[in-house]
Amino acid sequence: MPTYTPPLRDMQFVLHEVFNVADEFKAMPAHAETDADTINAVLEEAGKFAAEVAFPLNIGGDTEGCTLDVKTHAVTTPKGFKEAYAQYVEGGWPALSCDPQFGGQGLPHTVNQCLYEMLNSANQAWTMYPGLSHGAYEALVAHGTEEQKKTYLPKLVSGEWTGTMCLTEPHCGTDLGLLRTKAEPQADGSYRLTGNKIFISAGEHDMAENIVHLVLARLPDAPKGSKGISLFVVPKFNVNVDGSLGERNPIFCTGLEHKMGIHGNATAQIALDGAVGSLVGEPNKGLAAMFVMMNAARLGVGNQSLGLTEVAFQNALAYAKDRIQMRSLSGVKAKDKDADPIIVHPDVRKMLLTAKAYAEGGRALQIFCTLLLDKAHHHPDEKVRKNSDELVALLTPIVKAFITDNGHISTNACMQVFGGHGFIKEWGMEQFVRDNRINMIYEGTNTVQSLDLLGRKVLGNNGATLKKLGKLIGQLVEEEGVNEKMAEFINPLAYLGDQMTKFTTEIGFKGFQNPDEVGAAAVDYLRVAGHLVFAYMFARMAQVALRQIAAGSTDPFYTAKLQTARFYFAKLFPETATLMRTARAGSKALMDTDAALA
């Protein structure tokens, strides 16, 4: 059976020693009272819930899955899920980072991100039920009417109700411009929605008394394509004027998808048969409103893979220390045993360190991004808010695609550490692999994220936001460029930063002549950009570790951080050279292949 220990020490290191979040919060009136002790206390309790309540349900939830009663359309979640959610609500966890005016606790997004990393390590399928509610909350805060906010937000914040987003239809996935669900206006100002949705995570369940669906649909006079999409809030049960629940709305689960992983989450097929809804935002501008939820979800999906990378690493490390097989190539290490623990073998260490590096780099990037979100929402300086918002937009596709790709690499590597036992269900490793695999697909496939990064976020504004990221990197390079102890971290970062400008310009010029060049280079480009950001994170973490050691600290944590950083730069970062070469190879080898793909 697998185990899980919340990585509180590493979280505290990133929060307080690398990014000094408490000082950053002092500049934001909404969070000025949030100090390090408060953050640490909250995360310690969050870790207990994740490890002691959510984690023990993970394997059982995967085995049991969800059950649909086709007659009543009711879905039953795995044993213990409903009770765990009740504990979650009682503990006030859904309200952690929500606005106090709606009943929230008003803590920073940065703290909430750490909570969700631990929950995703513990049980991704369970965590998706409350997780999707946050996206619905954010969308309604940004675009909901006062009546919608009054009706839905306090219940979403308390956790009494959960939320979903209903986008995908059987004939269209990412291309939402093809969707057919219709919304007919009614005399009382409401709408009646008819259509079918698929792949709706947490689309039906027994954990909360109501579900608030955010649904994309078309008005009768809507233009074709994505410019004709509107957003509607459609509750499972209609809500009376006094806030009590009314009649059942005809938005039903008609089937549950049979999936590779996340079996404990109800991935629903949804039918709307004249369901009552209300318009969110302006007519035909639903995608802009929905993108608030989608962008939150993309950061959340990156966090899912971060959580799985961490828990997979922990279990693989424990196994590698205990499992004995063969002798070390450099001589016997465990003289009192018949063989050496497999952790002595170089390639086992490579697999373990790959997962460790991708977990620690991903954690630093996630905390960096959520700190930027807090600045974008709450900093009093408009320029800081604007710059933070632009950087988050640039980094969102990297978080989603790079961290989930790394999660795939890491969970597979950790399963490999177990050898044949990794393929056996009771060890838990194969579930981490299966659960992670969806993260590379939903909320926009990683190829779509790559096109978004290169086409929209970089070339779309002529590299302006990329230059702002480059400026941050340049400041660190200038600060530490003459420090010999930092050379092994700074020099590769500085080199790639310089190469990135030339690389981007070259791809952009070729794409201007032939758009397929952008499509051919995008996936490789995003991975290079991901390594640029991770290199910056590891350089900053190494900077802190070296300073602590120089100040006399003998804490092995700092030595471990330096060793992980050295591994990252020596064994993982160098793939950027290959990626830039394959990106520069162009589109011809892909597109001039009609005979090969006949």
Does 106 share its domain with 61? yes
Do the domain assignments include residue 358? no
Contact status, residue 185 vs residue 191, Cβ threshold 8 Å: yes
In this model, does residue 293 exceed pLDDT 80? no
Number of domains in the chain: 3
* Secondary structure of 242-299 as H, E, C letters: CCCEEEECCEEEEEECCCCCCCCCCEEEEEEEEEEEEEECCCCEHHHHHHHHHHHHHH
In this model, does residue 289 exceed pLDDT 90? no
Q: Residue 472: which of 536, 390, 392 has the closest Cα? A: 536
C-alpha 234 chain-centroid distance = 25
Q: What's the rounded Cα separation, in Å, for the pair 501 and 324?
A: 48
Q: In terms of DSSP bridges, do strands 74-76 and 67-69 run parallel, antiparallel, or are they unpaired?
A: antiparallel
* pLDDT tens readout for residues 366-421: 999 999 999 999 999 999 999 999 999 999 999 999 999 999 999 999 999 999 99
In this model, does residue 11 exceed pLDDT 90? yes
Do the domain assignments include residue 408? no
For 560, phi and psi rounded to 5 degrees? -60, -40
Q: Residue 67: its pLDDT value, please?
A: 98
Does 178 share its domain with 215? yes
Does 107 share its domain with 216? no
Q: What is the pTM (predicted TM-score) of this model?
A: 0.98
Whole domain around residue 264: which residue ranges? 161-283
Residue type at 188?
D
Domain with 50 in it: what CATH number? Answer: 1.10.540.10
Does 138 share its domain with 193? no
Domain limit, last residue, from 283, 317, 341: 283
Q: What is the DSSP string of 326-365?
A: S--TTS-S-TTSSS-BGGGSHHHHHHHHHHHHHHHHHHHH
* pLDDT tens readout for residues 513-572: 999 999 999 999 999 999 999 999 999 999 999 999 999 999 999 999 999 999 999 999
Q: What is the DSSP string of 25-80?
A: HHTSGGGTT--HHHHHHHHHHHHHHIIIIIGGGHHHHHHH--EEETTTTEEEPPTT
Does 450 share its domain with 579? yes
Does 454 share its domain with 555? yes
Q: Residue 210: its pLDDT value, please?
A: 98
Domain with 220 in it: what CATH number? Answer: 2.40.110.20
Torsion sign (Cα): 146, 148, 152, 153:
negative
Does 452 share its domain with 578? yes
Does 269 share its domain with 136? no
* pLDDT tens readout for residues 71-127: 999 999 999 999 999 999 999 999 999 999 999 999 999 999 999 999 999 999 999
Do the domain assignments include residue 514? yes
Contact status, residue 524 vs residue 531, Cβ threshold 8 Å: no
Does 273 share its domain with 203? yes
- Assign 594 a pLDDT band (cuts: 50, 70, 90): very high
Q: What's the rounded Cα separation, in Å, for the pair 268 and 255?
A: 6
Does 271 share its domain with 213? yes
Q: What's the rounded Cα separation, in Å, for the pair 170 and 195?
A: 10
Query: What's the rounded mean pLDDT across residues 358-366?
Result: 98
Quick one: 471 exposed, middle or buried, by C-beta within 10 A (0-12, 13-18, 19+)? exposed
Mean residue pLDDT across the chain: 97
Quick one: 38 exposed, middle or buried, by C-beta within 10 A (0-12, 13-18, 19+)? middle
Q: Tokens for 182, please give them.
A: 């219709």
Q: What percent of the chain has pLDDT over 70?
A: 100
Do the domain assignments include residue 345? no
Do the domain assignments include residue 372? no
Does 107 share its domain with 177? no
Q: Tokens for 292, please give them.
A: 């608030």
Q: Which residues are catalytic?
A: 443
Query: What's the rounded mean pLDDT across residues 252-274?
Result: 98
Do the domain assignments include residue 25? yes
Do the domain assignments include residue 479? yes
In this model, does residue 174 exceed pLDDT 90? no
Q: Residue 582: its pLDDT value, please?
A: 98
Q: Residue 153: which of 103, 85, 203, 87 has the closest Cα? A: 103
